[in-house]
């Protein structure tokens, strides 16, 4: 069993992921990483070597480091949690420093809370600044759906089948319009034809563009 990831290690994952977002192919120089984290180059070198030994980083002395696929999973997770924390603070009567507080909250968010925030905000794709939010990890998706199940867009639902709406990846205006048609989380929906669907015995038309935003889990 692997050791639990510590908070200071999470900071390295998130910061390296931020470099990855800017240039996925580039190695991050130790000095640049130390400056971004506001720590000494010596302590950064030590941590980079430690994370590389665990398989989270690819590290070449004097050239820099980059996240491996294993490390990217954690980098995405931490950046996603930071951006979800920002969204949560934006919806609260909070007057403090949003960035600093979100940085603290990201370490307190576990898979269960991330899943709850994902559902609450309808699986947001961009944060409050319009910046892309990394996709949820498989373990969080399993928390929402149940292990082994998958989310598919409504466009992929076959005619005659029934499914459950799990998430709506859209802004609040679109979500509000869909809610007025009884399209909301946990409702059951069936496909009658290309653009015609049925919810609660009511037939409605949903364009392919909107249907792409509605994520469902087909009923077994």
pLDDT in tens, 21-66: 999 999 999 999 999 999 999 999 999 999 999 999 999 998 999 9
**Domain formed by 72-145, architecture:** Orthogonal Bundle (1.10)
Taking only the tens of pLDDT, the chain with its 220 residues reads: 467 889 999 999 999 999 999 999 999 999 999 999 999 999 999 999 999 999 999 999 989 999 999 999 999 999 999 999 999 999 899 999 999 999 999 999 999 899 888 888 878 888 889 889 999 988 888 877 765 566 788 999 999 889 988 888 777 788 888 888 889 888 899 999 989 999 988 999 999 999 988 888 877 6
Q: Which fold has domain 7-67?
A: Arc Repressor Mutant, subunit A (1.10.10)
Class of domain 152-218: mainly beta
Domain ranges of the chain: 7-67, 72-145, 152-218
Against a cut of 0.85, is the pTM above it?
Answer: no
Distance CA 200, CA 190 (A): 10
pLDDT value of position 1: 47
Do domains 7-67 and 72-145 share one topology? The answer is yes
Torsion region of 13: left, alpha or beta (phi above 0 gives left; psi -120 to 50 gives alpha): alpha
């Amino acid at each position: 069993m692997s050791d639990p990831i510590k908070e200071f290690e999470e900071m390295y994952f998130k910061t390296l992921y931020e470099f990855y977002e800017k240039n996925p192919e580039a190695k991050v120089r130790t000095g640049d990483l130390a400056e971004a984290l506001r720590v000494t180059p010596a302590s950064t070198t030590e941590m980079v070597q430690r994370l590389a030994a665990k398989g989270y980083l690819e590290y070449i002395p004097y050239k820099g480091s980059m996240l491996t696929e294993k490390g990217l999973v954690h980098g995405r997770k931490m950046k996603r949690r930071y951006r979800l924390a920002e969204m949560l603070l934006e919806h609260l009567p909070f007057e403090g420093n949003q960035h600093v507080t979100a940085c603290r909250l990201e370490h307190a968010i576990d898979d269960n809370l991330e899943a709850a925030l994902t559902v609450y905000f309808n699986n947001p794709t961009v944060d409050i600044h319009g910046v892309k939010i990394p996709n949820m990890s498989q373990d969080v998706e399993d928390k929402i759906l149940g292990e082994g199940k998958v989310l598919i867009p409504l466009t992929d639902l076959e005619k005659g089948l029934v499914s459950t709406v799990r998430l709506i990846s859209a802004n609040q205006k679109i979500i509000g319009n869909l809610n007025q048609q009884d399209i909301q989380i946990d409702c059951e929906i069936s496909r009658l034809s290309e653009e015609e669907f049925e919810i609660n015995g009511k037939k409605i038309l949903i364009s392919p563009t909107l249907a792409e935003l509605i994520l469902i889990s087909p009923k077994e």
